[in-house]
């Protein structure tokens, strides 16, 4: 069984559309936020510190998807349950489930890479092999 990080979210008025339903891009924002909390909870240092130590600037998304099951609205308290479900040489797949109490509202996946600044052009990034120590901390 893989490690699961639970990240609590208060759905705010500004998260909702005119129908008072959470606007779908916010689900991706919540998934992304939960991803960073996942790494922090596993003991991975903040990306700014990681860049100074080993050059890693973060884990950008290279693919994402979501399935919306039930709506959520202003005033709801929800939890994103995040885990890493697949490791590859340079990519890993995260699963996100958005829950309100015992009701599954949405589920999403994203594929990410560990990235450094490109050595030839610091305005670009470059995927690097997944660091063994980080993978070990996250399992």
Mean pLDDT of the region 130-137 = 95
- Domains of the chain plus CATH, in order, are 5-138 (3.10.129.10)
CB 99 within 8 A of CB 81: yes
Rounded-to-integer distance, Cα 131 and Cα 44, Å: 11
Cβ contacts of 16-21, under 8 Å, gap ≥ 24: 16/73, 16/74, 20/73, 20/74, 21/71, 21/72, 21/73
pLDDT in tens, 86-117: 999 999 999 999 999 999 999 999 999 999 99
Give the active site residue among 17, 32, 110, 120. Answer: 17
Range with the lowest mean pLDDT among 1-5, 42-46, 130-134? Answer: 1-5
pLDDT at 1 over 60: no
pLDDT in tens, 8-60: 999 999 999 999 999 999 999 999 999 999 999 999 999 999 999 999 999 99
Residue 15: active-site member? no
pLDDT at 3 over 70: yes
Dihedral in degrees, nearest 10, Cα atoms 105, 68, 14, 93: 90
- Output the pTM of the full model: 0.92
pLDDT band at 2 (very low <50, low <70, confident <90, very high): confident
Residue located via tokens 């885990």: 83
- Residue 27: its pLDDT value, please? 97
Rounded-to-integer distance, Cα 15 and Cα 25, Å: 9
Mean pLDDT of the region 64-82 = 97
Let me know the angle formed at the C-alpha of 37 by 62 and 66, rounded to the nearest 5 degrees. 45
């Amino acid at each position: 069984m893989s490690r699961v990080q639970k990240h609590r979210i208060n759905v705010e008025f500004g998260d909702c559309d005119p129908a008072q339903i959470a606007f779908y891009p916010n689900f991706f924002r919540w998934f992304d936020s939960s991803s960073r909390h996942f790494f922090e909870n596993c003991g991975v240092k903040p990306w700014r510190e990681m860049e100074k130590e080993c050059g890693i600037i973060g884990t950008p998304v290279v693919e994402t998807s979501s399935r919306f099951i039930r709506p959520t609205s202003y005033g709801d308290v929800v939890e994103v349950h995040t885990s890493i479900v697949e490791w590859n040489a340079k990519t890993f797949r995260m699963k996100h489930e958005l829950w309100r109490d015992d009701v599954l509202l949405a589920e999403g996946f994203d594929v990410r890479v560990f990235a450094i600044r490109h050595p030839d052009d610091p305005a670009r990034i470059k995927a690097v092999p997944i660091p063994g120590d980080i993978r070990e901390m996250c399992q």
